[in-house]
Structure 1
């Protein structure tokens, strides 16, 4: 099995090299790394050029945002399975892709996901939140649950059958895509009970109150666009479902939480 890892990047000169290192260091599975640069104006292009031997495909052209860039990466992917590692992020261990490959090979699934930790932007060893996903049950979506998007890996044939990201959903495009596949189309989903990704804190959807309100509106629209009735109280249950992540991070990673 070949896995395509896609990184969309814009002006991430300071972190991109570590992301490339993280993909290149993965053990014992065939994989390719695809970089999609939306015409960065800092030194990102130089970082990509310096790492050219470790990058299977590099695309540098204007885009209409991160999900447009991810769609370009999906089209360029030659792997059986496709996933993402953002330009600020790292795999938790060198075994992450092997765990993903083994799960696809062992179980009859169309997609897999795992756990994720949010880490300090300046110190990726300092855990802020621990997103322990838990086993898949589509009914949990109605209580505000979703799997962490950076840990979701899907067969490319699923994209070919059910489509890619809808860019008009803005920062909620990943949520709409997950609802479309896992709730509406009911693809077969497997869970890897391990941390797969370190994600640096931040993110456009949570950057401002206005962005969060817009994302909440688009979360509801993700259901109606797929002919589904939105869960009652989604704008409350979705953010509230994240609260245990902070407590779990402090209890399970006490040393990394110290200053």
Structure 2
């Protein structure tokens, strides 16, 4: 079982080393690692070249202008040769050295089409400083409309489904990842497996959650995603989503305080 991991980069020199190291640390060595760079002008390419030989032929990369992060992800999907594909952003890291091993073993079940798990939000400057805990749960039909969805950086899908169901909708500047998971799980009902483990440490301050404008645009695109697939959106959806996220933050804070004490 080969797992393809796609990392899109653009001027990511400050964080890319951590991402690469987390991939290299994996106990599961049958990994196809792909870096899609958007034409970086900092030291990103230098870092890629310095680490290429450490993958012993299992890393490939390109550097060329793109139309944004989702276009880069689609390029990576087209390049992937693994049995399953996942996305690891250039400022995120795999939680521990057994993440991909657990993913690969989950796919040993032929009835599993996609896999996802838990995620930690961490400080941009300290990967060990936890800001928020994203605790997932098994998928249930209709739960997207209730404010639930998997943590996208933990979402892995069998390659065979991309040709049939497509990649990321680049017309959605933000939240194309939400539409992608909505399409695969809710619309086409792929069979999923929830792994009750932390899979990724995600630095805070991404495009969709780093500013008020980003949050508003992301929410608007989520509504567009529902409408694209003819799924009714309740007027209570956004309040439910916001409340759910607020509860997650509160629970995370309580857990972190208990750990400190």
Root mean square deviation of aligned Cα: 1.7
240, 244, 247: which one pairs with 1:244?
247
* CA shift digits 1:163-184 (9 cap, x unpaired): 0001001111011111111111
Residue 84 of structure 1 deviates from its aligned partner by 1.0
| Residues matched between the structures, number | 258
TM-score (norm 1): 0.95
Partner in structure 2 of residue 35 of structure 1: 35
* 1:143 and 2:150 matched: no
Structure 1 stretch displaced more, 69-78 or 100-109:
100-109
TM-score (norm 2): 0.94
* 1:100 and 2:103 matched: yes
- Uncovered stretches (5+) of structure 1, i.e. residues with no partner: none
- Uncovered stretches (5+) of structure 2, i.e. residues with no partner: none
Asked if the contact 2:204–2:210 (Cα under 8 Å) also holds between the matched residues in 1, the reply is no
* CA shift digits 1:128-180 (9 cap, x unpaired): 00000112112221111110000000011111110000100111101111111
* 1:90 and 2:93 matched: yes
Q: Which runs of 4+ in 1 moved over 6 A?
A: 255-258
Aligned equivalents of 1:256, 1:51: Cα separation in 2 = 36
Residue 104 of structure 1 deviates from its aligned partner by 1.1
Aligned equivalents of 1:37, 1:67: Cα separation in 2 = 12
Aligned equivalents of 2:248, 2:202: Cα separation in 1 = 13
Asked if the contact 1:127–1:249 (Cα under 8 Å) also holds between the matched residues in 2, the reply is no
Aligned equivalents of 1:255, 1:63: Cα separation in 2 = 45
Residue 257 of structure 1 deviates from its aligned partner by 7.2
Asked if the contact 2:117–2:154 (Cα under 8 Å) also holds between the matched residues in 1, the reply is yes
183, 188, 191: which one pairs with 2:186?
183
* CA shift digits 1:42-81 (9 cap, x unpaired): 1101100101112521010000000000000000000000
Matched residue SS, 1:241: helix
Matched residue SS, 1:230: coil
Partner in structure 1 of residue 16 of structure 2: 16
Residue 253 of structure 1 deviates from its aligned partner by 3.3
* 1:154 and 2:157 matched: yes
Asked if the contact 2:227–2:233 (Cα under 8 Å) also holds between the matched residues in 1, the reply is yes
